[in-house]
Amino acid sequence: MSVPRAVPPGQHLPTYARELVRMHDAVIAGSSSALRPRAVVSRSWSRVLGLGLKPDGVNTRNWLSEAEIDRRRSSSGLREVVPDLRDIVGSLADASQLLLVVTDADGVILWRSGTPAVRCRADRLGFFEGADWTERQVGTNAIGTALAEAAPVELLAGEHFEQGQHPWYCTATPVHDPRTGALLGVIDVSGPALTLHPAIGALVETGRLLAESRLWRYHQERLERLRGALTSGPALVVDDHGWVAASHGVAVGSRIAVPVAGQPIAVPGLGACLPERLGEGWLVRPSSVDRTVTLELDLTGTPQVRLAGGDADWRRTITRRHAEILVLLHRAGRDGLSAEALSAALYGDAEHVVTVRAEVSRLRRLLGALVETRPYRLSSDVRMNILR
């Protein structure tokens, strides 16, 4: 999805930026203005005013410790592509007075590149590593608003809620894991308002495409390195996230539950399996001759799923929402449920498809191929009993 431009075609940038500042002051004060906020800006201002933030000056900032920043960087799905982004986007920083910023899915800035002069200006706004740049913390800004809208955003001058941000433009787009669709973070390019160029949006979109394509390539390379490790007999080789690199004697699709050392997992066609560490991945093979998968969903207290039978002792606590999903899939049988039907069953309408997909994705991290997609249903090899 391309980034919508903040400046209409034919507008003189300095003049339009001044008009946006006047519009901000008038609208926030409840006065009339010839220039009205764009829809995305109006929605954001409404959210921010509801949070009680103040438009004059700069609101209180929160930022993380160096240790927490390092922890988030090491666990970020974007850490592998930051050097690539710096090579492509950051190479323009010196000539264009721009900042390249990469956040995590929480809107916390993890990486920042730019000239000392523009970084110094950003520091005065609290626009630095470890800072939370969600709307709830700093008001309307491209990072926080892109997260709230789940879409690319470009803002100029007075479109920012805080007056302290009016001398800036910012252009941001969310980045997703190409394997799962999960949100990984946001790529943002920001700079002095009067340096905004029409090509900035295309630059940010190029950064997103680059990041997602490189992540997919790195994923394929890791799976390729694992493929030569498969042994004979019914077995799988998977990576640390449960993605199948190779299989022998069983067909389970592209992903199983995420392996954890010492914890059995249930795999359709293999039954209970105990993962064994194998280089960068895991060897998964049956722990008994019983290949059936019988699950008990215990709803008598805190919801739990238990793998019944065989030699493995496998029990995991799940959320009540995940328990509801399993009950609905059990009732639906092999016909299964579409995302829209599951949304209607859980929330009373079909408007929560994105939330449903995220919930099922988290459930599949726990149960893997026991829950199938398109449509959502329990695997044909699964027998589930519900205890109430």
**Token pair listed for 67:** 């240790």
Coil, strand or helix: which one is 75?
A: helix
Considering only the top CATH level, what class is 13-219?
alpha beta
**Token pair listed for 186:** 């946001």
Coil, strand or helix: which one is 383?
A: strand
Positive or negative: CA dihedral 130, 135, 139, 145: positive
| pLDDT value for 261 | 82
What residue ranges do the domains of the chain occupy?
A: 13-219, 235-387
Domain 235-387: give its CATH code. 1.10.10.10
| pLDDT value for 292 | 66
**Token pair listed for 46:** 């409404």
> What is the rounded distance in angstroms from the CA atom of residue 191 to the CA atom of residue 99?
6
**Token pair listed for 358:** 């995220």
Q: At what angle do helices 142-149 and 39-51 cross, to 10 degrees?
A: 100
| pLDDT value for 304 | 92
> What is the rounded distance in angstroms from the CA atom of residue 388 to the CA atom of residue 384?
13
> What is the rounded distance in angstroms from the CA atom of residue 16 to the CA atom of residue 10?
10
CB 200 within 8 A of CB 192: no
Coil, strand or helix: which one is 347?
A: helix
The residue type of 106 is D
Q: Which long-range contacts (CB under 8 A, 24 or more apart) does 222-225 make?
A: 222/280, 222/281, 225/279, 225/280
| pLDDT value for 131 | 97
pLDDT, tens digit (0-9, with 9 covering 90-100), for 56-73: 878 888 889 999 999 999
CB 346 within 8 A of CB 303: no
The total of other beta-carbon atoms located within 10 Å of residue 26's CB is 15
> What is the rounded distance in angstroms from the CA atom of residue 1 to the CA atom of residue 197?
19
Coil, strand or helix: which one is 205?
A: helix
pLDDT, tens digit (0-9, with 9 covering 90-100), for 167-224: 999 999 999 999 888 899 999 999 999 999 999 999 999 999 999 999 999 999 999 9
Q: pTM for this structure?
A: 0.77
DSSP string covering 24-54: HHHHHTT---SSPPPHHHHHHHHHHHHHT--
Ranges of the chain whose pLDDT falls below 50: none
